[in-house]
Amino acid sequence: MMTRFAARLPCLLLCAVFVIPVAAEETHEFDGRKKCSSCHKSEYRSWKKTAHARALEDLKPGNKAEAKQAAGLKPDKDYSENEKCVPCHVTGYGEDRGYEIEDPSKYLIGVGCESCHGPGEDYRRLHRKAGDRFERKQQTTPREALVEAGQEFEFKQRCYSCHMNYEGSPWAGAKKPYTPFTPEVDPKYAFDFDHAIRDNKAMHEHYKLDGTFTGPPLPPFHEEFQDKAKTGDGG
Ligand code: HEC
Ligand code: HEC
Ligand code: HEC
Ligand code: HEC
């Protein structure tokens, strides 16, 4: 105890005097899809049927054998605990309370809610509070509060972090581990965001929102999706 305290002492003093700014980027913890799914039942049921929900299955031996062969991978090898593969086939790998190979949470298997909507521990609490306020008093909450709590409204960079992450990618953020499925392997792997965001095999269906949250930011396709949205059950 003494030594640990002694080691921290200089910082305690410095921080007290200069109020050293903490790293600018705020981090929010992953929480898994259990809570999201219990409130958003319709999106959950629809997501379950998507390619994203089954993404970890790709890594098991025998699955997608032809695709693996074409990309120079071994069809019979088990890649489902391989750190060169798992990061893009699960939720929040390498992040605060995200998926871990040694201690996998079943609620983080596959490309889940938080892979696109952001780590949810903080904003999902706001959803509950805002939902209650809206139901009891018809009071709305600005979306800006959700951004502060870590919710994503741009989406593009999140998709790119998996789909555009390969050697020689035009995306500046690309870094290892890379996806083996590049446009060079097959042009069908080229990623076009505007097209992909409307793909009904990979994306969950959309359901009408009541209007609990208002104002910016909103993605450019929000109105289009809400115009065509179905009536679901749950928030
Ligand atoms: C940087 C992220 C990333 C990494 C790392 C990664 N993948 Fe993927 N993987 C993807 C994406 C994105 C797709 C979807 C590609 C598409 O269909 O456009 C995909 C698709 C697949 C598919 C299905 C391909 C098809 O045609 O259906 C298999 C199989 C697969 N990955 C296996 C692996 C294996 C094995 C590894 C490790 C050697 C790996 N992946 C590493 C992102 C990644
Ligand atoms: C954590 C990594 C990850 C993120 C984030 C991610 N994807 Fe994927 N995506 C995958 C993987 C892996 C597959 C392959 C699943 C399969 O086919 O089994 C896939 C498959 C797809 C497919 C079907 C294959 C194809 O190319 O036609 C589409 C479309 C797609 N994703 C769109 C998106 C969009 C749009 C976003 C962002 C809103 C996104 N993805 C975010 C990893 C990711
Ligand atoms: C591959 C990316 C991706 C994944 C995975 C994903 N979503 Fe979404 N989600 C979106 C996009 C894009 C929208 C549209 C946002 C908009 O219109 O403002 C959306 C919209 C929503 C909405 C607003 C109403 C609607 O239906 O459009 C809810 C609620 C929602 N998602 C919940 C979930 C839950 C719960 C999960 C997990 C079970 C999940 N999402 C998984 C991308 C994703
Ligand atoms: C306690 C219930 C509850 C939980 C848990 C919850 N939400 Fe929500 N969420 C709501 C309510 C209520 C709304 C407002 C819906 C409306 O206006 O119709 C909402 C709205 C949303 C929206 C739409 C925001 C907008 O642009 O208006 C998305 C996306 C969403 N939730 C995703 C998630 C995700 C992802 C999780 C898990 C990390 C989650 N929610 C957890 C109740 C919940």
Which domains occur in the chain, in start order? 33-227 (1.10.1130.10)
Query: What φ, ψ does residue 90 adopt, rounded to 5°?
Result: -140, -175
Report the distance separating Cα 167 and Cα 175, nearest Å.
8
Q: What does pLDDT average to over the chain? A: 92
DSSP class of residue 204? -
pTM: 0.93
Q: How many CB atoms are closer than 10 A to CB 100?
A: 14
The answer to whether residues 126 and 141 touch, using CB atoms and an 8 Å cutoff, is yes
Q: Is the CB of 113 under 6 A from ligand 4?
A: yes
Q: Which residues line ligand 3 (CB under 6 A)?
A: 33, 36-37, 40, 43-44, 47, 52, 111-113, 115-117, 155, 197, 203-204, 206-207, 209, 218-219, 222, 225
Q: How far is the CA of 177 from the centre of ligand 2 (A)?
A: 16
Report the distance separating Cα 61 and Cα 187, nearest Å.
25
- Residue 98 has which token pair? 């995200």
Amino acid at position 127, single letter: H
- Enumerate helices (H) and strands (E) in the chain, giving the number of each: 10, 2
Q: Is 230 helix (H, G, I), strand (E, B) or coil?
A: strand
Contacts of 109 (CB under 8 A, 6+ apart): 56, 90, 91, 99
In this predicted structure, what is the pLDDT of residue 26? 72
Q: How far is the CA of 3 from the centre of ligand 1 (A)?
A: 47
Q: Whose CA is closest to atom 9 on ligand 4? A: 127
Report the distance separating Cα 107 and Cα 32, nearest Å.
5
Q: Whose CA is closest to atom 33 on ligand 4? A: 36
Question: 233 falls in which pLDDT band (50, 70, 90)?
Answer: confident
Q: Is the CB of 179 under 6 A from ligand 2?
A: no
Average pLDDT over residues 174-182: 97
Over the Cα atoms of the chain, what is R_g?
21
Give 186-215 pLDDT, tens digit per residue.
Answer: 999 999 999 999 999 999 999 999 999 999
The answer to whether residues 52 and 88 touch, using CB atoms and an 8 Å cutoff, is no
In this predicted structure, what is the pLDDT of residue 4? 52
Report the distance separating Cα 83 and Cα 65, nearest Å.
20
